[in-house]
A and B are shown apart, each in its own frame.
Chain A
Amino acid sequence: MNTPAPKEAVIKMYESRADIHPREVKGRFAALRWAFVWLTQLLFYGVPWLVVNGRQAVLFDLEARKFHLFGLTLWPQDFIYLAALLIICAYGLFLVTAVAGRIWCGYACPQTVYTEIFLWIERRLEGNRSARIRLDRQPWNAEKIARRGSKHLAWGLVALWTGFTFVGYFTPIRVLGDEALRFALGPWEAFWVLFYACATYENAGWLREQVCKYMCPYARFQSAMFDRDTLIVSYDLVRGEPRGVAKSAGAATAKGDCIDCSMCVQVCPTGIDIRQGLQYECIGCAACIDACDSVMDKVGKPRGLVRYSTQTALEERWSGAHIRQRILRPR
């Protein structure tokens, strides 16, 4: 007791990643995300197979410098349209971010979409969150090898199909498929198929939230676009605190609505606690909203302890209608 505590300690500036096993979540926003997964992936995997006028409908023929978009053929001198499109996309993204936060990250970003698909595979083959954590701790035995192996095999197949589809936008996909079946891909085709397959496998299988946290520039300049009226996934501190379970129902125990069940933490794909406020790691996927809403339903409290809101709205205790009115204000 009397030994003086050391005043200094040496910490490592680099640490291995703590595995995150997000719990499966069901709810309004999860359904919306799955709708986007289906929409974007049906488009991505399906479009190269469309044929218009006897030719692949969307084909960016780099070698011939011809870019076919259904009936339209663009040439290198039409690149200005691509520039304009990219500028519109960029500004669109900035506008949406300023108003509604990281909607793109949460629902449509390929990183989120493929992580969702890979997580789905993981759940089917390795089980739910607790089963996966158990599997992590388990020594290597036949079961673990089978489960892990089948997961990586399934990931690899999805990744290969993704790489194949991607290259199918640049070289006729039917010819490519024929070549792939005969193991007769050209060296560059093989390289790019494998390159994109590896990128998909690594990013969606292994790196996941680290792409958002350490690599994505968009995630890093959020603060330049956010203001106090930007929609964010937020925990209602006033309503929730002090957290904990009330000893007896109805008693004036001065506990907040948060029962500290930690469901919002367990479902978070980036491993943060939303109750600590706005954090740059938050990709705005709203999994914690779904999780908290289902808990609130069970304990008989109103939904929305964690909800889409703004910093101003939380402080001023605004209603949803007031927030919408504020968003639509003339600027």
Chain B
Amino acid sequence: MSDFTSEFWNWFVGLITVLSIAGCAILLWSQSRYKVTLDENGAPRKTTGHVWDGDLTELNTPMPRWWMGMFWLTIVFGVVYLVLYPGAGTWAGKYGWKATGEYDEEVRQANAAYGPLFDKYLHQDLKQVAADPQARAIGERLFLTYCAQCHGSDARGNKGYPNLADGDWLYGGDPSVIKETIMKGRNGVMPPMGAALGSDKDIENVAHYVRSLSGMAADPIKVSFGKEKFGACAACHGGDAHGNPMLGAPNLTDKVWLYGGSVDTVMETIRKGRNNTMPAWGEFLGEPKVHVLAAYVWSLSNDPRRAAPAREVAAR
């Protein structure tokens, strides 16, 4: 009940629930008998006496008795339910049932069933796990459930969401680093550099220089002016612009663009900065699942059958 700062709503809900049931019973009792006027022959009239639009009358034809019996049954059901289950304010119910309790129980059963399997992989090296076809199949399902929303079902990412299948890594491609990323999450920050660089002209020049690093089309004059200003960027991206995996600062020379490589987009990135969050999954999934998941993600850009990580280096 931490959502509520006082007991008011508990009393509110509980009282309304109980009063509604009592009200239904009273209504049912009072409406099962009805006072009618008699006609000239002394027989009860068949209408309630209410007339609308001149000639529209309301009949008081009795309902079947079993119908009322069913109403009483619903009242009995409601009372029994409220005694056994939580429903009236803070009353927890005789059974002590909780939605979270039911969920926890299911999780417990699932962990008992699948736990040993994940534990087996947890004690293996990540590359060894990645070489196991069953582990990769499990990893793929985990990926499609938890990761595909942002990174795509083919793991090729989207604007702002890194491509995980291209062998290019912001924080390094070692499987243990991937595992750390999934466990603890990442917060990648590119600060807004507009003010530090100066005018729009300067920003445009730097954008052209950055594009030239990947061998993309750029104006040579703007490139030379931009190169002079790049010093402000070198703190994170390095003097050779190869980035810094410790900070998650991207390599700017590899033609891989997280937000797009057009002049306008690069200028926007420089001017306004970027803030990117990878959520932490360690607490939610637990280390055994993350272990299998990390091995799967690593296997997307590496051939796990080869012992040595090959393309990891080539991408640098």
The segment from A5-13, A118-126, A289-297, A306-314 found at the interface with B is A5-13
Interface presence of A78 (CB below 8 A): no
Interface presence of A183 (CB below 8 A): no
Interface presence of A63 (CB below 8 A): no
Interface presence of A316 (CB below 8 A): no
A10 to B65, CA, bound (A): 17
1-54 of chain A: CB within 8 A of chain B: 5-17
Interface presence of A75 (CB below 8 A): no
Interface presence of B36 (CB below 8 A): yes
Q: How far is the CB of A154 from chain B (nearest CB, A)?
A: 23
A interface footprint on B18-55 (CB within 8 Å = 1, 0 otherwise): 00000000000001111111100010100000000000
Q: Are B35 and A8 in contact (CB under 8 A)?
A: yes
Q: Are B44 and A9 in contact (CB under 8 A)?
A: yes
Q: Are B35 and A12 in contact (CB under 8 A)?
A: no
Q: How far is the CB of B291 from chain A (nearest CB, A)?
A: 35
Question: What bracket does the count of chain A residues touching chain B fall in?
Answer: 10 to 19
Q: Are A16 and B65 in contact (CB under 8 A)?
A: yes
Give the contacting residue for B65; candidates A5, A11, A14; CB below 8 A: A14
Q: Are A7 and B65 in contact (CB under 8 A)?
A: no
Known: A5-B42, A9-B44. A14 touches B34 (CB 8 A): no
Contacts of B33 in A (CB 8 A): 10-13
Interface presence of A214 (CB below 8 A): yes
Q: Are A9 and B36 in contact (CB under 8 A)?
A: yes
Interface presence of B276 (CB below 8 A): no
Q: Are B38 and A12 in contact (CB under 8 A)?
A: no
Q: Are A12 and B64 in contact (CB under 8 A)?
A: no
Contacts of A319 in B (CB 8 A): none
Contacts of B64 in A (CB 8 A): 14-17, 210, 214
Q: How far is the CB of A183 from chain B (nearest CB, A)?
A: 30
Q: Are A14 and B32 in contact (CB under 8 A)?
A: yes
Q: Are A7 and B36 in contact (CB under 8 A)?
A: no
Closest B residue to A17 by beta carbon equals B64
Q: How far is the CB of A216 from chain B (nearest CB, A)?
A: 14
Q: Are B37 and A13 in contact (CB under 8 A)?
A: no
B interface footprint on A234-268 (CB within 8 Å = 1, 0 otherwise): 00000000000000000000000000000000000
Interface presence of B96 (CB below 8 A): no
Contacts of A11 in B (CB 8 A): 33-34, 36, 44, 60, 62
Question: What bracket does the count of chain B residues touching chain A fall in?
Answer: 10 to 19
Interface presence of B67 (CB below 8 A): yes
Known: A12-B32, A15-B62. A6 touches B67 (CB 8 A): no
Q: How far is the CB of B67 from chain A (nearest CB, A)?
A: 7
Known: A5-B38, A8-B35, A8-B37. A13 touches B67 (CB 8 A): no
Q: Are B44 and A214 in contact (CB under 8 A)?
A: no
Q: How far is the CB of B23 from chain A (nearest CB, A)?
A: 18
Q: Are A9 and B35 in contact (CB under 8 A)?
A: yes
Q: How far is the CB of B39 from chain A (nearest CB, A)?
A: 10
Give the contacting residue for B63; candidates A7, A8, A9, A13; CB below 8 A: A13
Contacts of A14 in B (CB 8 A): 32, 62-65, 67-68
A306 to B65, CA, bound (A): 33
Closest B residue to A213 by beta carbon equals B64
Contacts of A10 in B (CB 8 A): 33-36
A interface footprint on B196-231 (CB within 8 Å = 1, 0 otherwise): 000000000000000000000000000000000000
A324 to B68, CA, bound (A): 45
Q: Are B65 and A15 in contact (CB under 8 A)?
A: yes
B interface footprint on A260-281 (CB within 8 Å = 1, 0 otherwise): 0000000000000000000000
A304 to B118, CA, bound (A): 83
B interface footprint on A67-96 (CB within 8 Å = 1, 0 otherwise): 000000000000000000000000000000
A252 to B44, CA, bound (A): 38
Q: Are A13 and B32 in contact (CB under 8 A)?
A: yes
A210 to B61, CA, bound (A): 14
Contacts of A7 in B (CB 8 A): 37-38
Contacts of B65 in A (CB 8 A): 14-17
Contacts of B68 in A (CB 8 A): 14
Contacts of A13 in B (CB 8 A): 31-34, 60, 62-63
A interface footprint on B61-76 (CB within 8 Å = 1, 0 otherwise): 0111111100000000
A93 to B289, CA, bound (A): 57
Contacts of B31 in A (CB 8 A): 13
Contacts of B38 in A (CB 8 A): 5-9
Contacts of A15 in B (CB 8 A): 62-65
Q: How far is the CB of B208 from chain A (nearest CB, A)?
A: 51
Contacts of B42 in A (CB 8 A): 5
Contacts of B37 in A (CB 8 A): 7-8
Contacts of B32 in A (CB 8 A): 12-14
Contacts of A210 in B (CB 8 A): 64
Q: How far is the CB of B26 from chain A (nearest CB, A)?
A: 15
- Apart from the given pairs A11-B34, A13-B34, 14 other A-B contacts in the complex at a CB distance below 8 Å: A9-B35, A9-B38, A10-B33, A10-B35, A11-B36, A11-B44, A13-B60, A14-B64, A14-B67, A16-B64, A16-B65, A210-B64, A214-B64, A214-B67
Q: Which 9 A-B pairs have the closest CB atoms?
A: A15-B62, A14-B68, A16-B65, A14-B65, A9-B44, A5-B42, A13-B34, A11-B44, A14-B63
Query: A residues within 8 Å of B by Cβ?
Result: 5-17, 210, 214
For this complex, 8 residue pairs linking A to B, each with C-beta atoms less than 8 Å apart, are A8-B36, A9-B44, A10-B35, A13-B32, A13-B60, A14-B64, A15-B63, A16-B66
